[in-house]
Structure 1
Amino acid sequence: MTTALTLTACGNEDTDAPAKGSDTTTGVEATTSSAPASSGRPEIELPGDISYTFDWPKTGDKEKDAVLADGEQSIKAVDQAIVKQDALDKAYLYYYEGEAAAETQKFVQDYVDHKAAITGSYRFYAPEVNVRKDGTASLSYCEDQGKAFVKYLETNKIKKTEVTAKSYVMYHTSLKKNDKGVWVITKLVSEGGHDQCQS
């Protein structure tokens, strides 16, 4: 996820890389793992050196829980596009439309241009969901990027950056339910160093 690029999946704006990480690690050989596809949703396959924690407890509300579930898959879908180095990967296009899809394409292309991927651990927490009667919704949440890193593909080196306040990012997404019953993201804005995410 980024602050400057306002898209999901990695870090803050940097002069020589599209995302940020923290402290020192060494590369881990990736082994493919799969996120199960359901209800016709695309299968998402990610390397074993990327892990996620979603502290998103179920609300008990069917529609809110669906927004959270699709939100989780949308995050992983963008990461898959980065790993595959494909700015038009079909999986994320399943979950993003309009402005959000266009911005996501630019975001992923930045990684492709730098021949960079991602590695490390991502944690998402403090979700707030609001579902409206007109078939739209909003989802806000925090991301801890303190253990997330950029990995340069040509050298397999990990970019080293320290954890700062900007490692904690707040996201605000606008969604709508499409004709397939999927909650797709139409707009996404992010802010690094948000007070609410550091509490």
Structure 2
Amino acid sequence: MTRRSRLLTTATAGVAAALLLAGCGGGDGDKSDSNSKIAGADTGASASASASPSASASAADGRPKITLPSDLTLTFEGAQTGDAVKDAVLADGAERMRATDAAITGTDPKGAAIAYYNTGKALEAALSWVAEFKKANVTITGKARYYDRNVTLKSKTSAILTFCADESQGFSKDKKTKKINKTPVTKNSYVFYNTRLDKNSDGVWQTSQIISTRGATQCES
């Protein structure tokens, strides 16, 4: 979600106003300068949706096909490490981000890919996150770059994925008027993500926990 962590400032009430005022993209868990917890932090968030979306597959390999609108571009750097397991974690972590944006922008209105690439608290938070965009009648546009992506394998089925995001070229857009809310680049354009992924019985590395820190100096580039 472009300027992904900043489109949303809370997982509950007040998020819609933050989207319109901040004009940035969102992540599913966030610690701002004031240390406020955002949707998707590993403290968990209750899902706004009444039921989880089904993860119906459409791709040839059994995975949901994810497409994004032409005005939204996500770039993921460092996809190849030389380690097949780490590369799989990186790939599924990237798909998780793309899945959430697809639900927000309407290219995956049923959220099939969200259910496929998320589990537990991360799934609850992602549903809540998407619901807030819908409630505010806001979508996202522009570009986001994800870099300094590092995987630490904790076991055969558990991994930690950390990465930075440059969301300086991502903005919120009113669905009705199509007006883009552009904002200046600040330290809050940079976000550090700390996520946990667990490999399920189908071999998919699902994100189970996610925390993001906005205004991360180590991500400024």
Asked if TM exceeds 0.5, the reply is yes
Residues 1:11 and 2:9 aligned together: no
- Give the one of 172, 190, 193 matched to 2:215: 193
Q: In the alignment, is the contact (CA less than 8 A) between 1:10 and 1:148 conserved in 2?
A: no
**Which residue number in structure 2 is paired with residue 62 of structure 1?**
84
Q: Following superposition of structure 1 onto structure 2, how do residues 45-60 of structure 1 map, counting pairs within 5 Å?
A: 45-60=67-82
* Alignment-mate amino acid for residue 16 of structure 1: A
- Give the one of 130, 144, 147 matched to 1:122: 144
**Which residue number in structure 1 is paired with residue 131 of structure 2?**
109
Q: Which range moves more in the overlay, 51-60 or 144-153?
A: 51-60
CA distance in 2, matches of 1:75, 1:166: 19
Residue 90 of structure 1 and its aligned partner are, at CA, apart by: 1.2
Deviations 1:42-82, CA, capped at 9 Å, x for gaps: 00121100112211241000100000011111111000000
Residue 156 of structure 1 and its aligned partner are, at CA, apart by: 0.5
Q: SS of the counterpart of 1:141?
A: strand
**Which residue number in structure 1 is paired with residue 168 of structure 2?**
146
Residue 133 of structure 1 and its aligned partner are, at CA, apart by: 2.4
CA distance in 2, matches of 1:85, 1:115: 15
CA distance in 1, matches of 2:186, 2:150: 24
Q: SS of the counterpart of 1:67?
A: helix
- Give the one of 203, 210, 217 matched to 1:181: 203
Q: SS of the counterpart of 1:46?
A: coil
Q: In the alignment, is the contact (CA less than 8 A) between 1:88 and 1:105 conserved in 2?
A: no
- Identity over aligned pairs, percent: 39
CA distance in 1, matches of 2:219, 2:59: 30
**Which residue number in structure 1 is paired with residue 34 of structure 2?**
none
Between Structure 1 and Structure 2, which shows a larger proportion of strand residues? Answer: 1
Q: In the alignment, is the contact (CA less than 8 A) between 1:17 and 1:114 conserved in 2?
A: no
**Which residue number in structure 1 is paired with residue 55 of structure 2?**
none
In the alignment, structure 1 segments of 5+ residues that lack a partner are: 3-7, 23-35
Deviations 1:67-117, CA, capped at 9 Å, x for gaps: 001111111100000011877511111000010001111111110001011
CA distance in 1, matches of 2:213, 2:59: 30
CA distance in 1, matches of 2:173, 2:107: 12
Q: Which range moves more in the overlay, 139-148 or 85-94?
A: 85-94
Residues 1:156 and 2:178 aligned together: yes
Q: SS of the counterpart of 2:124?
A: helix
CA distance in 2, matches of 1:38, 1:67: 20
**Which residue number in structure 1 is paired with residue 38 of structure 2?**
none
Residue 160 of structure 1 and its aligned partner are, at CA, apart by: 2.1
CA distance in 2, matches of 1:105, 1:113: 12
Q: In the alignment, is the contact (CA less than 8 A) between 2:189 and 2:215 conserved in 1?
A: yes
Residues matched between the structures, number: 181
Residue 132 of structure 1 and its aligned partner are, at CA, apart by: 2.4
